[in-house]
Structures are given as structure tokens and as C-alpha cells.
Structure 1
């Protein structure tokens, strides 16, 4: 484990622990100040997702020569995915720029904002169905199941490498499980904002130095 990993994990543990303390002792302070809307936690998450997108774009520009078309497609899709996540996190800068939502979003968005994750379809909140439940399943598969398959199944290893999917190291998985335990123990309403921040930080570490780092080297 590199020094940067240790530093990031120490900071995340501190953030989660302090959040847990306030969640147990003063939920109002946690929700209103610590993990507030448009606060450091939320903007921190957006920044980390944006950085991951930049990492992917940088690789696409600097080392894609000689790589397969599937490698390029995978890297581009990750760049788009994390850019989308960053934009959604801050409602595409709407609140920062003071832009009013259109009538469509006012009527169909739970918070009246210009984003997709707070949309309401019928009685179902998209955020709860897709961005919470489904995303959690994907995270568990990626952070826990895929590292096992990558090490044991050659076909899976080849598939992952072909589409330039950065593979998780065990310390990433341990960090994820530790953060999950701390966040689940927090009874505050906005505790998942901290969880998103943790995800962003862990994913930066994964994308910077994945287990299959060799596939992100420049072709000689």
C-alpha cells in the first residue's frame, strides 16, 4: 500500500468517525452543517468524480495509441460516466450559477432541480431505485465479487482488461467495508452524503493504481 493510500484512508476514517459522532449526538448539526446541501462534503464528492473523469480522459489522450478499440471505448465510457456523476452531484452547477429550473423539472423533480437522480416517476423516486439500491448492488459486485473473479477466472480477467476496467485491490475492498460499517451506524438523515464522498476518494485510488495497472501503461 502506497503512502497516498494510507493518507487518504486516514482522512476518510476521520471524516466518517467525526460524522458518526455528530450523527449519534447531534443529528441536526450533522444534517444542517456537517453534510449540508451545497457543503464541503457534497462539493468534495463532485470534485473527486470529476478528477476520475479527467484521469480517464488523460489516459485516452496520452496512452491510447496502440490500444484496442475496446480499451478506448471502456476508458471513454468511464470518463463520461464519472463526468455525469459529478454534474448530477451539483445539479450541473444550477445552484452555483443561480439558474432556475424549467417547468418540467419543477413538476417532476423531488427537489425541483435540474438533475436526473431526484426525478420522480409516478410514485417512485429514481434516486432510491437506481442511484441507491441498484448502484449499491453494482458497488458490491465491483468492490467485493470482481476482485475474486479476477484472480480466479482467466476469462473474467481477460474481459476486464479488454475493456480497460480498473481492478480493485484488497485494501480498496477493506476500506469500502469499513466505511460502510461506519456510515450504516450513523442514524443521521444525510449520512449517505458522506458515503458518496468515501466512494469518490476510494475510486480515485482505484483508478490511479489498480491491480491491473499494466494495461494502463503506454505501448512501447
Structure 2
């Protein structure tokens, strides 16, 4: 595993793009907290409604993340490892999949009727997987909440610790092209989880998805090991 000529560093200041994006996200989350306590029905029926502003806005950071991963592939594939190519491909596919799920793969945009299978097995009768019901439980709760939640927790907290403390792990992560969350992004994620926990509604998940998607984009754009993703550091 060849090392990069210049090691990544976490000693950087938050930049204007991060400030702008986090400001927008937390403004929407805090607004959601206030709205939910003042008028819970409006929060659920309008603010976080299906095909509403929050859900549609979530597609933006996911789409930018897909483009970012593809740009990394185009610019760096010949200079990085096969694992880098795999990781960026997975990131692009993951962003594309989640964005597609958010808008039910364009079903409502193009006015496409759900098939009989989805009408019978989807909690919202939509063409997507995260609202599927299996043995009375929504897939969203089983996979997208618990499993993904555990993965996010390990990624945000365990990975940065290993990267900082274990030189061998650090070399592997850089070689593999795994973007490591920066402390600013970790703090933002913790603040997001706290804020979401304050909202007394199951629809708080819509704001959580927006926040996590935005932080995912920021990690991809400005990871702790940023040198791995820059052509001038090859």
C-alpha cells in the first residue's frame, strides 16, 4: 500500500461552504423543532410531508455527493488503488440509491402508478424499498434506522479514532480511499442527533435524513484525509 507524498491533516478551519451548508441544515432543523411544538399537525402534514420541501431538499446533497464521487473517479482512478475505485463507486451508488428512494424513483414526478406488489406490500403504496412492510415491520425501521444507524455511529466515531491512533489502519484507509470524518462534521452530527431527539414526532426522521445526507456530502468534499482526494497531492 503506497503512502501519499503528503499526509492528511485534521488541523484545518471550517470553510465557507461547510458553514453555509450547516447553517442552512440547522436553521431548518431548529425551525422544525419550533414548528412541531407550536403546531405538530402542520409540522407533520406540511413541513415534513411526502414530496414536501424537506424531502425534496434532501435530494440535493445526495445528488451533489454522487457527482463528487464520480469526479473523484474520473480524476483519480488512474492514480489510486482499486479499493479507492470501489469505495467511490459505492459512495456514488449509495447516494444515487438513497436519492432515488427519497423521490420514489420519480414515481410522483412522472405520475407513474405503483404495481400491485407495491400497493400490497408498501406502507405508503409507493415504488420504493424503505417503506416496504415485512411481517408487520417497515423495512425503513429494520434496515434504514437500526442497521444504518449503527453503521453511521461506527463510521463517525470509531473510524476517526482508529485513523488517529493506529498508523497501520491510517495507511490502509488512505490507500482504500475511505473519507474520514473531520471533527467539525462529527460535532455537527452529534448536534443533529440531539436536535432530532427533541422533536416529538416520528416525522423527525425527514429532518434527520436531510442532516445526515448533508453531512455525508461534507465528509466526501472535505474529509480529514483530504489529501487522498486531491490531484495535487497524488
Correspondence for 2:136 = 123
Correspondence for 1:139 = 152
Normalising by structure 2, report the TM-score: 0.90
Map 1:45-84 onto structure 2 (within 5 A): 45-84=58-97
Select the residue among 182, 186, 195 that pairs with 2:208.
195
1:160 maps onto 2:205 in alignment: no
Q: Deviations over 1:118-176 (max 9, x none)?
A: 11122222110000111111111111221111101123223322321111000101111
Correspondence for 1:8 = 21
Correspondence for 2:105 = 92
Select the residue among 120, 132, 135 that pairs with 1:107.
120
Structure 1 stretches of 4+ moved >3 Å? none
SS at match of 2:223: coil
- More off after superposition, 151-160 vs 35-44: 151-160
Correspondence for 2:50 = 37
After TM superposition, give the deviation of residue 186 of structure 1 in Å: 0.5
CA contact (8 A) 1:19 1:30 kept: yes
CA contact (8 A) 2:80 2:175 kept: no
Correspondence for 1:211 = 224
Q: 1:87, 1:163 → 2: CA distance? A: 27
For structure 2, the 5+ residue unaligned runs are 1-13
Normalising by structure 1, report the TM-score: 0.95
Q: Tell me the C-alpha RMSD between the 2 structures.
A: 1.3
SS at match of 2:109: helix
After TM superposition, give the deviation of residue 98 of structure 1 in Å: 0.6
